[in-house]
Every structure is written in structure tokens, then in C-alpha cells.
Structure 1
Amino acid sequence: MLKLQDYRFSVAPMMDWTDRHCRVFHRLTTRRATLYTEMLTTAAIIHGDRARLLGFDASEHPVALQLGGSNPPDLAAAAKIGEDFGYDEINLNVGCPSDRVKDGRFGACLMAEPDLVAEGVAAMKQAVRIPVTVKCRIGIDDQDPELALDTLARRAMAAGVDALIVHARKAWLNGLSPKQNRDIPPLDYDRVYRLKAALPSVPVIINGGITGIAAAKRHLKHVDGVMLGRAAYQEPWRLLAADPELFGEPAPYPTMKHVFEAMMPYIEDQLARGIRLHSMTRHFVGAFHGVPGARAFRRHLAENGVKPGAGVSVLRDAIARVDDRAPVSMAA
């Protein structure tokens, strides 16, 4: 069972990015972060290949399953399946702005239906014993964030939600693409701080535009937890500072080269199962950002990692092109 301390730091669910290979990689950089799956729809989980969709490595714990859906019975069924697979938390997506998600009546459009969100939370809480959380925006389109976020949060609280994760931007469902929704709507961290002040009894985690561990420490003066997204994925070396800076514990490994050495047995096992090297190495592109040799590392993986039969020697050769020094301002 997750405790408040487990919400202190997490890596965001990111579509097409935070798959099982990415999460194993991230776990080797931080023991303490809670990791999240990509969003999976309730229909896919109920009717699809569950082993392929939900399988994960035991090293990933604590790991949460993010669900996309709005039908309370389906959410309950999918949550129970996730619990049975061994996930530590079920998270409901109320923040994704894509057209596909909107057409399916889930994601950020649910900001306009707080009662339905509450029904979904209540159904999942009845179905599982693990924590049920909600990840949302501060509002959508022309909503007033003061009213919209407060209403959604209080409805979810009344339904028994265990924590709220708030991306501190509006989502504009009309007029902006999903990519634009990650950057154009202005960040409003103070709105999330006010939510936490108004709801002291529920953990509130802040997300959106947070650039590193030093920034996370500043936010933790106001909220219970910080969720790092693109910074964690694009520059994963930043995660090596998470345990020392946020938990007062040593990092699992001193450098990214040590992380990769620890990753090798997993990669070899996956290759033996028929997984292509590129399916794993695509998550490593930013591993040495800011270090001499990083460009040669990326180029070698790009040119050779996609070849049929590519093995761990390709990765070892790429790593050999990188200087051993750590990036500047790792905790920034």
C-alpha cells in the first residue's frame, strides 16, 4: 500500500514513452519514484491482450496503472484487473487533451463532468484495495480554474480518492493540438498551491513544466508531491539526483554508465524473448545530454540499434563514445 511518502516524487505517465522498458530504465536511476504506465483504455484492458498490455517487471514497484475511461462499471473492472496484475495504484486520466480521447468521453473532457468522475472513483474504490488517484488539469477551455478544479477535487474527495495529481495548465480542447496543450496554456502553479491549502487532508501532487529536482524541491514547500514528465524522459540523468535530494538516500548507481551496466541483463533477457533492441534503446536518447560524446552516442544508436539482429554490443559501443563525467547541474 502506497503511503504519503510514496507520492513525494513520481515520473508522469506519457503516451508512447513510459512503456515497460522505459520504466525498468527509470527504476535503475531512482528507487523511490513512483512510476506510471502509459494511459490504457478500459476497453483495451477488458477485451485485449492483458499480458502484453499490463505485464511489467517486478523491479518497477512502486508502479501505477493509468486508466482512460468514463464508464464506472468498466473502470471498476479494469481497476480490479490491474490490481490482480500487481499494480500498486490505479490512476484515472482526467487530463489528456487528444481528439481520440475526447471522442471516447475520457481524458480532459471529464473536467466538465465532475459527478461522473466521482462515480468512477467510487466504483474503483469499491472494486480494489489499492489507492485510487485522479490526474487532472486545472480546467478546460473557458472554465474558471478556481471553480472547475475545486469542484472536481471535492467531488473526487467525497468519492474516496486517495490523491490528486494536477497538471498546472488548462487544456484547450478546441483550437490547440495535444502537443500545443503541453506548452501554450500558461502554467499556474499557484492555483495548485491554493488547492492544497484548501484541502489539507488529501495528498496533492503537482505536474507540468517542472524542469528538474531543484525545481521539485521548491514545489514541495507547497504541495505533497511532484511529478516530473518530459524532463525525466528527455534527460533521464536528472533522476539520479532524486533519491539523494528528495529522500536523503544514495542514488542506486553513481553514473549513467553504471545504470546501463545494470540494465544489460534485462536487455539481454528481452532480446532473447524476441524484443528488438530499438524498442528499448529509443528510451535512452537523452541519457547523456550535456556530456561530451552524447551526440556520438545518439548517432551510433540511431544508425545501428534499428538493424535486424542488433544486440547489446551496439549499446556498449555507443556508451564507449561517452565521457564519464556527469552532466552539469544534475539536480537543477
Structure 2
Amino acid sequence: MLDRTFSVAPMLDWTDRHYRVFARQLSRHALLYTEMVTTGAIIHGKGDYLAFSEAEHPVALQLGGSNPADLAHCAKLAEERGYDEVNINVGCPSDRVQNGRFGACLMAEPTLVADCVKAMKDAVSIPVTVKSRIGIDDMDSYPFLVDFVSTISEAGCDTFIVHARKAWLSGLSPKENREIPPLDYPRVYQLKKDFPNLHIGINGGIKTLDEMQGHLAHVDSVMVGREAYQNPYLLAEVDAALYGVDSAMVSRRAVVEAMFPYIEAELAAGARLNHISRHMLGLFNGQTGGRRWRRYLSENAHKTGAGLEVMEAALALTERSPE
């Protein structure tokens, strides 16, 4: 059974397959999510939007869409490719997402979301989950959230990850929607009390292990977004603190060196170093040499032909005495 005690949130342009392989060097147990991928991209796009490596497991695909048949088709493809879970995005507030009739605007259409979930569940045997906000615009009362969850759970969804902020569909940018609407953790806690048989996860503004453990006293799981990306070494503490795994924390240097075979293979396949190294810039945050690490990679990894020698030189800079 999938243990989603801790997960890294799906984040556009951030949680791509390179980041996920990197994150897996830090935590063996965290559930990792893809960026949101639209059903249209999967069905009609020219690229392979479902690519991932076996090293990423456990990994979940997040889908954006509102057509039940399309979502079911993409969920089936995800299962065939080996994903451990498929999640439908009912939380992203961007204009582009709204114009496609998916994301947070779907909270206003719980019956449609229920139809989508049912179609997906009928198509696959892997878990089908929903990620939402606590509300949108003026539809942000607790009874509204209860009705939303009730309607979708009746369609067979037993796992909800709730970003503990409402979303304003107009007037705020996606970035502002992650910061301006106030967090309301108690509302998510209450949801768990009222739906004890459902898995209720919490997301939004969570930064420390102490905060995670505090939330886990009230809900079933925690999902961390920006902090897991900008301060990735946080993930190295997750297995021991949240999963009870008795193992020594991997060093930052060991994490970088563990990435070398993957980087070599990706470069040989035509990838550019900076497409991978950009996800690793925060690894030495707060450490001696951390600024030198970031600067060296930022200035050199994008250059034509950049390879492992750039990573090794950046590593060496982290071990020099303070300037």
C-alpha cells in the first residue's frame, strides 16, 4: 500500500523528472509528484509527457483536465507506464488553467469532478486522488468544502490533499494565490474529524519537520512544495523523522556524487547540464561554500559541452575554507 505520509507537491517547471531523481537521492520514502500534465498534452502532444525513471518510485502523476473520458484514458496510460498513483488537479488558480476548464475552478463543479474521478477509477487499479483548495472566491465556507468532499468521495475517491488556502480565480497571480489568502489549517483538521474514513492530507506553507509532525497529529499526511525545492536537504531528514527509518543521513557530497551516473546518461542522450543542475542549486543552502556552489553552477552549467567536471569543480568550492 502506498505510504503518502510525506510528499513533495506537484510544481510546474520545478518537479520535472530531473528534480525527482535528485529528490530520491535524499529520501527513499517520500512520495514524489510530477508537474501537472494536461490531458491534451498527453493525448495530442508530440513529446513523451509521461517519461520517468524507475529510480523515482514511489511517484504519482498529476493530471489537469475536466473531460472524464480523456482523464480515464490518461490514467490508464499512467498505470501502464508504472505510475503508483494518479491525481487530478482541482487547486491550481492560473488563468491558463481556468481557460482550459481545470484546476481550482473545478471546485465550483463538484459533480463534474465526481464524474471524472469515477471514470478514472473505473479505468485503473492504482489510487485516484484529488488535490484541491479549501474554497474559491466567495465559495469558501466550510459547508461548501464538506459538500465538495462528500460529492467526490461518493464517486469512490478516498484520498484528498488539501491546500489550506482558498484561491481567488481573478485578481491574484498564481504566486500571490500561494501567499496572500490566509492559511486555515484548522479547517483541514476539521475535515479529517468529519471524514474519519478518508485520507486527508494537508499542504500549504509547511517548512519544518516540527511543523510536519504537528500537522500529522491531526491529519494523515503532509505535502511540502516550495521548501522541499528551495531547501532540498530537508528531504534527507524525512525518512528518519516521519517514517521511522533508522539510517544515517546521506551527506550533501554523497547526494551530488550519486547523481553522476544519471547526469552522464542524460548528457549522452542530449540533455544539457543546467537542466539538471538547476534543481540542485539549493542543496548547500546555509553551508560554508553554498554561495560559491550556486554561483559556479549558475555561471557554468549552461555552457555548451558542460559536463561532470562542472559539478566536480562546484563541489570542490564547497570544501574551501570561508572567504
Which residue number corresponds to residue 67 of structure 1? 63
2:141 alignment counterpart = 145
Q: Give deviations 1:215-245, integer Å, cap 9, x for gaps.
A: 1111000000000100000000000000010
The amino acid of 2:34's aligned partner reads T
Q: Which residue number corresponds to residue 200 of structure 1?
A: 196
- Match of 1:328? none
Question: Which amino acid is the alignment partner of residue 125 of structure 2?
Answer: R
What amino acid is the match of 1:189? Y
Please tell me whether the aligned partners of residues 11 and 228 of structure 1 are also in contact (alpha carbons under 8 angstroms).
Answer: yes
Structure 2: distance between partners of 1:53 and 1:320:
36
Matched, 1:43 2:40: yes
Residue equivalent to 1:313: 309
Report the TM-score when normalising by structure 2: 0.97
Distance 1:105 1:324 in 2: 52
| Match 1:156 to one of 127, 152, 157 | 152
Q: Is the 8 A contact 2:289 2:320 kept in 1?
A: no
Kindly state the Cα deviation for residue 211 of structure 1 after the two structures are TM-superposed. 0.5
Q: Does 1:236 align with 2:227?
A: no
Flag structure 2 segments of 5+ consecutive residues without an equivalent.
none
Q: Secondary structure at the match of 2:165?
A: strand
Matched, 1:8 2:5: yes
Q: Percent identity?
A: 58
Instruction: For residue 116 of structure 1, report the CA deviation from its aligned partner.
Output: 0.5
Unpaired stretches in structure 1, ≥5 consecutive residues: 326-332
Deviant stretches of 4+, over 3 Å: 250-253
Assess, with a 3 A threshold, how the Cα gap between structure 1 residues 173 and 251 changes in structure 2: closer, same or farther: farther
CA contact (8 A) 1:257 1:324 kept: no
- Name the SS of the counterpart of 2:166 in structure 1: strand
For residue 16 of structure 1, give the secondary structure of its aligned residue in structure 2: coil
Alignment-mate amino acid for residue 13 of structure 1: P
For residues 140-181 of structure 1, the C-alpha deviation after alignment (integer angstroms, 9 at most, x for no partner) is: 011133022111111111011131000000000111011100
Q: Does 1:23 align with 2:20?
A: yes
| Distance in 2, Cα, partners of 1:217 & 1:312 | 38
Q: Deviations over 1:43-72 (max 9, x none)?
A: 11112246x211111011110000000011
**Distance between the aligned counterparts of 2:307 and 2:69, measured in 1?**
44
1:223 aligns with 2:225: no
TM normalised by structure 1 equals: 0.94
Q: For the Cα contact (< 8 Å) 1:291–1:323, is it kept in 2?
A: no
> Which SS does the other structure have where 1:28 is aligned?
helix
Mapped to 2, the partners of 1:291 and 1:113 lie a distance apart of: 47
CA distance in 2, matches of 1:55, 1:279: 16
Structure 1 stretch displaced more, 316-325 or 69-78: 316-325
Residues of 2 paired with 1:199 and 1:320: CA distance? 52
Over the aligned positions, Cα root-mean-square deviation in angstroms equals: 1.4
Matching residue's letter, 1:34? L
Q: Is the 8 A contact 1:102 1:108 kept in 2?
A: yes
1:267 corresponds to which of 259, 263, 270 = 263
SS in 2 for 1:266: helix
Return the offset for 1:253: 4.9
Secondary structure at the aligned position of 2:205 is classed as: coil
Report SS of the residue matched to 1:75.
Answer: helix
Deviations 1:226-280 (CA, angstroms, capped at 9, x unpaired): 0010000000000000001001114575211111111111111101101000000
